[in-house]
Amino acid sequence: MAILSVSGLAISFGSNHVLKSVNFELNETEVLGVIGPNGAGKTVMLNILTGLLKPTAGSIVYMGADITGKSLYDRGRMGFGRTFQIPRPFEKLTAYENVMVGGIFGDGLSEKAAGSKASEILELIGLYPKAGVFAGKLGLLDRKRLEIGVALASNPKILLFDEVAGGLTESEVVEILNIVLKLKADGVSFIWIEHVLKTMLEGTDRVMCLAQGRDVVCGLPAEVLASKEVSEVYLGADEDE
Amino acid sequence: MYIIIQSVITGILLGGLYAVIGVGMSLVFGIMRLTNIAHGDLMILASYFTMLFAMEIVGNVFLALLITIVLMLILSFLIQTFLVNRVIDKGPEPSLLVMFGVSIIIRNALILIFGANNRTIPNPLSTTNILNSPNISISGGYLVNFIVGVAVVLVLMFIIQKTYFGMSIRATASNRMGAELLGVNTKRIFAYTLCLAVATASIAGLLIGQTFVFYPSTGPQYLITAFGVVVIGGMGSLGGTLVGGILLGLVQLLSAHFFGTGWQTIAGYVFMLVILTIRPQGIFAKARR
Ligand SMILES: Nc1ncnc2c1ncn2[C@@H]1O[C@H](COP(=O)(O)OP(=O)(O)O)[C@@H](O)[C@H]1O
Ligand SMILES: [Mg+2]
């Protein structure tokens, strides 16, 4: 069953028609990978899905309800969580406090419950030894992990990842893949933007390619990556550079 | 020699008062990136309220301060919710202009209601000297100002650094969109932030009112003091306001000693400009982001 269905999603910045018509469905506990050349509008799409940007056309239906006009705050409360392409944890808070914010505000937990959940999550994302370190002082991998941890603490139903694997080594990516698999088993659905194609093959159930403002092709990862559409898109992008 | 020691002691004590004058402005800037131009006027408004309640209605300074703080909290919540929050997403300038408007309204309302005369809040301690030797004297009023000022800054730091409420305020300041998506009502947090800042300004208002005379247009004078404290100590750094306040107090009193009292104010601001030139982020501010 679809937890999220997006139809005719479009957005323009002046004469820059970044998204023209994007259509897809995300099923429950599915990991949907999103690929596409630089500047295709993948981050913009995520920003629209979380309510950071308003689309110029199209609709977003989440668990049967149209949420196109809902605010960031409302969507957070409804179960949306996300990470940013450039990680933006709360720098003036320690790793532990970061996760606490997710638990207290995102999941409405009491301070005590949020505290024990925060410890659990820090353990899961491998940041327990650095619980007391200010997020602004963490390295890239730790910041990425922490962003996942904060989103997790808010008890999301749907997690949106914007290039979490970018800049990480292969073994670090494997750690993140393991977290995703565990969460998927717990009932979380994912939209996962990524450039690293190997991650897409291993970590996703389906892959969608975004180019020229449209969902060019969508299907099983191996098929999509081998498709004529995707090779055209990436060849086209290469010629531009 | 004793005169220099006397200047240093008085400068430090005055610095504690300066710290509580500046700390609310530093908080608002650190959390909302808003330069609260109405900070001084809100402080003087609190001086008038406290004077009115203490002298006309309840007859007790502490009770008067308590009522004043409650009124000022309500007022600042309304200002933030219905004025500043309406424009805060449109960049820093509109909020600045809104606060400029608030400042003008407060000043003119005070003239209408209380007239332009000098006022003061009676203070039994202002004429008592705690220490009164032939060479050095310590004014009871200044000592109380210092102790209360330092205590207010420390309590505020505790609230921001150690409580869950403070944690949500720091989260909002770090990444507003991220906090919003996690279910933090960031505009409400901004309102609470202004409330905290104005509570400190209300206490500063009482101390100022008991120490100096004030009139409806005194606000900007204390806005400039607050500005000096915050620039020297570091915009947004609460602990920095203690250092900034004490340094400003020392520079003023020592320059008065060496060059004459006429130099006191100018020297304070020359010092502020020097700090701005060699360390624009202030003495205490860590490099931000
Ligand atoms: N807030 C914005 N205002 C104007 N243009 C934007 C904005 N956000 C993104 N864009 C433009 O949208 C296009 C797609 O960007 P983005 O979604 O970041 O691409 P990517 O697929 O690499 O994530 C780019 O041309 C970018 O300049
Ligand atoms: Mg992107």
Residue B88 placed within a domain: yes
Mean pLDDT of chain B: 92
Question: Per-residue confidence at B289, pLDDT binned at 50, 70, 90?
Answer: very low
Domain hosting B92: range is: 2-125+141-278
Residue B131 placed within a domain: no
Report d(CA B38, CA B36) in Å as an integer: 5
pLDDT in tens, A38-78: 999 999 999 999 999 999 999 999 999 999 999 999 999 89
Q: Which residues of A touch B174 (CB under 8 A)?
A: 88-93, 135
Residue B133 placed within a domain: no
Domain count, chain B: 1
The CATH number of the domain holding residue B17 is 1.10.3470
Sign of CA dihedral B105, B106, B108, B112: positive
Distance from CA of B182 to the nearest CA of A (A): 5
Rounded to the nearest angstrom, the distance between the alpha carbon of B87 and the centre of ligand 1 is: 25
Question: Per-residue confidence at A236, pLDDT binned at 50, 70, 90?
Answer: low
Rounded to the nearest angstrom, the distance between the alpha carbon of A153 and the centre of ligand 2 is: 24
Average pLDDT over residues B192-213: 97
Q: Which residues of B touch A90 (CB under 8 A)?
A: 170-171, 174-175, 178-179
Residue B284 placed within a domain: no
Residue B236 placed within a domain: yes
Contact B243, B49 (CB under 8 A): no
Rg (CA), chain B: 19
Residue B214 placed within a domain: yes
pLDDT in tens, A194-232: 987 788 888 899 999 999 999 999 999 999 988 888 888
pLDDT in tens, B87-135: 999 988 999 999 999 999 999 999 999 999 999 998 877 677 877 788 8
The predicted structure's pLDDT at residue A237: 56
Best of A83, A105, A134, A159 to disrupt the B interface (most B CBs within 10 Å) is A105
Comparing A240 with B180, which gets the higher pLDDT?
Answer: B180
Residue B51 placed within a domain: yes
Q: Could B175 and A102 be called an inter-chain contact, meaning their C-beta atoms sit closer than 8 Å?
A: no
Q: Could B182 and A80 be called an inter-chain contact, meaning their C-beta atoms sit closer than 8 Å?
A: no
The predicted structure's pLDDT at residue A140: 87
77-106 in chain A: CB under 8 A from chain B: 77, 80-82, 84, 88-93, 97-98, 100-102, 104-106
The predicted structure's pLDDT at residue A241: 41
Average pLDDT over residues B56-83: 95
The predicted structure's pLDDT at residue A206: 95
Distance from CA of A82 to the nearest CA of B (A): 8
B262, B264, B266, B272: CA torsion to nearest 10? 180
Question: Per-residue confidence at A240, pLDDT binned at 50, 70, 90?
Answer: very low
Residue B283 placed within a domain: no
Distance from CA of B167 to the nearest CA of A (A): 7
Look up the pTM and report it.
0.89
DSSP-assigned letters across all residues of A101-129:
HIIIIIS---HHHHHHHHHHHHHHTT-GG
